[in-house]
Structure 1
Amino acid sequence: MTPSLFDLKGRLALVTGSSRGLGNALARGLAQQGARVILHGRDLAQVEAQARAMADETGASVEAVSFDVTDADAARAAVDALIARHGTPDILVNNAGLQRRAPFNEFAPADWDALVATNLSSLFYVSQSVTRAMGERGSGKVVNIGSVQSKLARETIAPYSATKGAVAMLTQGMAADLARFNIQVNCISPGYFKTEMNTALWQDPAFNQWVEKRTPAQRWGHFDELIGTLVYLCSDASSFVSGQNIFVDGGMTSVV
């Protein structure tokens, strides 16, 4: 193996849900490896501010785009416009996500619909538009962001677990259909990381203690610990790897 296998210099990456949190960290990791990055979020002013800050920090080319990933027509139009302006992405990272918590029998149908739309349907809509163009070119990398809940359930988040389990299976289905176009599709499933979406959890001393005891590494993950796996799946080093769900979880899903 040579370092060039992991080289992302000049490659164009679209990262959905990247104006803050985990998605922002993933986008920054790609930018630090030389990729040209397109940040995405619903608040254009916020995304543009983040793009400027990331460009200043990394020296990479960083652009901003805003559209509703849960609207099929809006996603298609936005991706078409993005391709017309910047070219077809070499890399798509489907990170946009949502969490809602409630006991199963009390879970509101509207919250179920929002989870499915954001965590699953959006991935389908954006991926279809991007991979059509990737297919025409004959190459591409898609990385879907799953969760330990792709494999493990926990009380009050059954619908979230269902969407992340579906992401893992959609990853396999996409890999089956898109491999013929030299498009590799894989999933990264993080364990417990201190994100804005789970602030209530990591600020709870009892839950914090549970995570540390439940995880063989005995701690929460750090955002930077996802970057190596992401770079591998976005680079030529993974040219014969597709349909995989890689858990970056400190060993949590490997033990009882």
Structure 2
Amino acid sequence: MTPVEVLRGGGPVILGMPHTGTWLPDCVADALNPRGRALSDTDWHVDELYRGLLPDVTTVRAVFHRYVVDPNRDPAGGSLYPGQNTTGLVPLTDFDGQAIWDSPPDQPEIARRVARFHAAYHDALAAEIRRVKAIHGVAILYDCHSIRATVPHLFRGVLPDLNIGTYDGVSAAPQVEAAVAGICASAGGYSSVVNGRFKGGWTTRHYGRPRHGVHAIQMELAQSTYLTEEAPPWIFDRDRAARLRAVLQDILETLADLAPRLRS
């Protein structure tokens, strides 16, 4: 199994998809408990949600599941949100704080997974950023995510529908953040927030270097915006998705149009 799927486009926007994959090596599947094998923390159908929205977009997608190793976490193991509940480089629990392993991986096994899977994803992503920037003088990395709207272990209350993360403005130019935030704020029927509970994961923080022509922004979608129900079997609701896709298309087209004005 190839751990990363890359679809190359000629435009300035790159879609990162670190959490849509569901593939598990046999040794990982065998070590998970039944709760872990349910893969409930997948970013369900996010690849389908974004498919075809922007011509010439590049997509880099992890085929493996985040329980193998999470490509949106610091490979050194640092926490994204110190002092808050979150999952780590190789999660030991699911988003509800429940154990997912019969046999948790030890440190040598985690290191092997980082080398085989985490590094493969980021080698591919970094290569596409370099390629796109060489063509356009700028690259915009748009990191695609989703999560259940209600996860008490991770956050209080109900998550806004559209959660924009720029690491408090560090990972993207102000006009990138403002463009996306403006579209989300004016999208009828959707709530949104900028740098709320989700400020951008390791990918956004690692690659976002506006002064060097690389702008990174994360979009965390509440799954209630496009699933029939936030529970198995995680059914893609085509009517809900169609409404949301119109908003997402506006965002991606706006970013592509903005790119020439971001050249350093």
Task: Tell me which interval the TM-score lies in, with the shorter structure as reference length.
Answer: 0.3 to 0.5
TM-score, structure 2 normalization: 0.38
Structure with more helix by fraction: 1
State the TM-score, normalized to the length of structure 1: 0.39
